């Protein structure tokens, strides 16, 4: 093992010793030693991978904490950690959106439309009809460059599990390119010219992921009762927003006046059992460079957690 790898491992291990990270990890994994050790091992492996070795250990760990709050593994196309400006950011994959939507009571599918396919949309409003016949003999979607060059758009189909009501929406290629274009790692190569971003290595799946997110954002889902889905939308929106900002803006602090005005609302959310304290803490610490005083105060949200009996009685 070379000196560079040893130094990197030491930095990651030291980051796990930070008090706010320890508290978040213990809370999210219920102080389970085996789960905590497995999480640390997974994050350490990711931290040593190409691209991630340039990111701060804290930002990688925070992405892992975000994945824990969403209960999405950082594998199997559900969640990704990508590099942007030396900071790791979390991105939700195609399968991840399907899982989150299913938990909220919806089944979601995506069909990619390419230039070689027959596709047209007729009518409008409630009388809208889509005609789609994929031409598989002419497709070469496993070639990511071909997929990008020939993308027409993505059809997103959503079915409400309770009613079997179906909705179909089309996201055109220019919208998908716009979303992918601000994704942190898209188009990045290593010194040998190799692509490492999921946007470049798994183009079709990422087209689907971005199209689903775009439609779910506008779909009339009661996000108040779909906590994890709503949180994933907020996280990915923040990721895409960060990609349009300068590196200085990435480290922007949380305005104290706004922090003070919203703190009582966070307390109410935690006391009502609507959202765990650690979820709010993770969201804030990942999105902003909190001052030590702000971090200390926001950590007190844990003292407002209702006990299980209270929550059960309230329900």
The 3-state DSSP class for residue 109 equals strand
| CA–CA separation, 96 and 80 (whole Å) | 10
Looking at the DSSP bridge assignments, the partners of residue 159 are: 107, 166
Q: Residue 282: what pLDDT?
A: 73
Q: Quote the pLDDT of residue 250.
A: 44
Backbone region of residue 76 per phi and psi (left: phi > 0; alpha: psi in -120 to 50; beta: other values):
left
Taking only the tens place, the pLDDT of each residue in 79-107 is 988 887 677 888 899 999 999 999 999 99
What are the contacts of 265-270 at 24+ separation with CB within 8 A?
Answer: 266/298, 266/301, 267/301, 267/304, 270/301, 270/304, 270/305, 270/306
Angle subtended by helix axes 227-242 and 57-70, to nearest 10 = 150
Q: Residue 181 and residue 206: Cα distance in Å, rounded?
A: 12
Per residue of the chain (315 residues), give pLDDT as tens: 578 788 888 989 998 988 888 988 999 998 999 999 999 999 999 998 877 877 888 889 999 999 999 999 988 789 988 887 677 888 899 999 999 999 999 999 999 999 999 999 888 877 888 999 999 999 998 899 899 999 999 999 999 999 999 999 999 998 888 877 644 444 444 444 444 444 456 789 989 999 999 999 888 887 677 888 988 988 888 777 665 554 444 455 778 888 898 999 999 999 988 888 877 887 777 667 778 788 888 889 988 888 754 444 444
> Which residues lie closer than 8 Å to 229 by C-beta, 6 or more apart?
100, 101, 103, 104, 216, 221, 223
| DSSP-assigned beta bridge partners for residue 167 | 158
pTM: 0.70
Domain boundaries of the chain, sorted by first residue: 94-247, 253-315
Please check whether residue 27 is in contact with residue 247, taking contact to mean a CB–CB distance below 8 angstroms.
no
Cα–Cα dist 28/25, whole Å: 5
């Amino acid at each position: 093992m070379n000196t560079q790898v040893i130094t990197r491992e030491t930095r990651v291990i030291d980051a796990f010793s930070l008090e706010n990270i320890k508290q978040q990890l213990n809370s999210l994994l219920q102080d389970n030693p085996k789960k905590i050790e497995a999480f640390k091992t997974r994050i350490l492996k990711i931290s040593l991978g190409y691209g991630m070795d340039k990111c701060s250990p804290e930002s990688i760990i925070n992405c892992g904490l975000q994945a824990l709050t969403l209960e999405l593994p950082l594998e199997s196309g559900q969640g990704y950690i990508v590099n942007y400006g030396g900071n790791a950011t979390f991105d939700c994959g195609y399968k991840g959106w399907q899982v989150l939507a299913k938990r909220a009571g919806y089944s979601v599918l995506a069909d990619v439309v390419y230039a070689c396919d027959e596709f047209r949309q007729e009518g409008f409003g409630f009388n809208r009809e889509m005609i789609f016949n994929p031409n598989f003999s002419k497709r070469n979607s496993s070639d990511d460059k071909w997929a990008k060059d020939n993308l027409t758009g993505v059809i997103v189909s959503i079915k409400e599990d309770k009613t079997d009501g179906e909705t179909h929406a089309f996201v055109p290629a220019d919208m998908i390119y716009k979303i992918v274009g601000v994704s942190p790692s898209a188009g990045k190569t290593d010194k040998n010219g190799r692509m490492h971003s999921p946007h470049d290595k798994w183009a079709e799946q990422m087209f689907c992921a971005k199209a689903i997110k775009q439609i779910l954002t506008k779909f009339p889902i009661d996000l108040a009762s779909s906590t994890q889905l709503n949180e994933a939308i907020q996280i990915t929106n923040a990721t895409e927003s960060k990609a349009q900002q300068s590196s200085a803006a990435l480290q922007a602090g949380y305005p104290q006046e706004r922090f003070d005005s919203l703190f009582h609302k966070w307390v109410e959310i935690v006391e009502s059992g609507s959202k765990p304290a650690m979820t709010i803490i993770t969201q804030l610490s990942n999105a902003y460079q909190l001052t030590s005083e702000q971090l200390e105060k926001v950590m007190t949200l844990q003292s407002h957690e209702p006990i299980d009996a209270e929550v059960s009685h309230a329900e």
